[in-house]
Each structure stands twice: as structure tokens, then as C-alpha cells.
Amino acid sequence: MKMSNSTFLITGGSSGIGLELVKRLLEHQNKVIICGSTLEKLEQAKHQFPSIFTFQCDLSVPDECTRLANWVAENHPDCNVLVNNAAIVHKDTFLSGEHIPQQAHAEINVNLLAPIILTKQLLPVLLGNPNSAIINITTGLVYTPKTAYTFYNATKAGLHSFTQVLRKQLKQTPLRVIEVLFPAVDTPWHGGNPPKIAITPEKAVNEMIIGIGKGKAEVRVGGVKMLYFLSRIAPGFSFRMLNSLARG
């Protein structure tokens, strides 16, 4: 697909990988719409990139996903690329966490259910425009889980599986279904304590754009390539190695 002269909707586009992607897309004559739950972050993004369009919503609430989709369909019917990037994580352990059920509900809603709802409701808009695509952002942790994340790995593994099924079901349409699997990236998502192996957002997005430009359906960025390989030939070793690195 072309990464220029298109209209992108990026969920979670006000910081981290999403914001870096905004920057790169604007450099190639794209129209960019972002959504986020925090008005202050959206306003900061708008100040940094005045040409973008912003929409505040809480993707953990299914009705808010519908509200976003309806707004895009009405105000930006030229939208041809949906980037499901928004994600949340909690680090409480299953045994000790006091709000485990609530945390599971929130992560499943934002990380998995929101992309499903937005994809379904924006499908007519996307199919009605040329050069259309759905880009789902996941992680190398779909292959080997990180034990510090009680639910995050599972939600992203679910999105990985859904993406594969969706790609097959939409094979006869012009709509491309792409998955980008990131390693650890040095963004605010890590709360100021990124792992030592984290790469920069610039490097992450650059590899993403190159991979999509080459026509890849699954773009494995950075160390995800090695993690994918190890998880196939030595899953036990892959699990021990990843979680040893995570403690570092």
C-alpha cells in the first residue's frame, strides 16, 4: 500500500509510537486523524501538528468506539486507513492484585474489542475508498509472553489471531490487512523505565513503514524477528530468555 496521499485514523495517536507515526505520515502529504482518552495530550499533539484532526473518546467503552466510528464516517468519509494502535497494560500480579477482574475487562476492551468494533463499523467507509488498509499494532509478545503482564500478552495474541482470520476473510476485497509486531520501544508507555533493549520510536516507525512499503502482511520490527524464530524452535528457551531480559 502507499503511505502517502491517504487519510489515516490512528487510535492512541497522541503519544509514543502513534505520535511518531503522525509525524512521519504528515511528511508524505497524508491527512491524519487521531483519537485518545486524554484531552490534554490531544491538545498537545494538535499544538505540535496543527493540521491533524483530534477526537476524544474512551475506547474501553464499546459505545465510545461506536461514537468514534460514526464521527469519522460523517466528518471524514475519505478515511481509507485504520491504524488500531491504542493499548493499555496493568502490571499487578494475578495473585496479589486487588482489581484483577476490572483490569482484565479494561485491557480486553481497549486492546482487543475496540479494534474489532472499529474495524466492523468502519468497514463500509474503508471499502468505499481506494488504497484502503487496516493496520493492527501488536507485539512480539504474541509469540512469547512476558510474565510481568498478566493480560496484555493474551489480548495482543487475540488481536494477532483475529488479524490473520480477517486477512483471510477479506482476501477477495481490495482492503489490505496488515499486522505490525513491535519489540520494546522507548515511549511513555513504560512509565519512564523502558527496558534496556528498547528501541527508539523513530527506528520502530521507520521499520514499520519500510515493511509495509515492501508489501509485507506481517511486519516484524527489530528483535521480534529473532523472538519469532526462537519461539518456533526452542519455546522454553525463548520464554526464559525474554523474562530474564525483562528483569534486567
Domains within the chain, CATH numbers bracketed: 7-247 (3.40.50.720)
| Cell, residue 59 | 475506547
Q: What is the total residue count of the chain?
A: 248
Q: Is the separation of the CB atoms in 55 and 33 below 8 Å?
A: yes
192 or 219, which is more confident?
219
Residue 213 has pLDDT above 70, yes or no: yes
User: How far apart (Å, rounded) are the C-alpha atoms in residues 128 and 122?
Assistant: 10
Matching residue, cell 463499523? 121
pLDDT of res. 248: 38
Q: Which of 143, 149, 152, 228 is an active site residue?
A: 152
Residue 152 annotated as catalytic: yes
Model confidence pLDDT, tens digit, residues 57-71: 999 999 999 999 999
The closest of 177, 18, 176 to 87, measured between CA atoms, is: 18
Average pLDDT over residues 7-33: 96
Residue 134 has pLDDT above 70, yes or no: yes
User: How far apart (Å, rounded) are the C-alpha atoms in residues 2 and 47?
Assistant: 27
The closest of 209, 136, 210 to 170, measured between CA atoms, is: 136
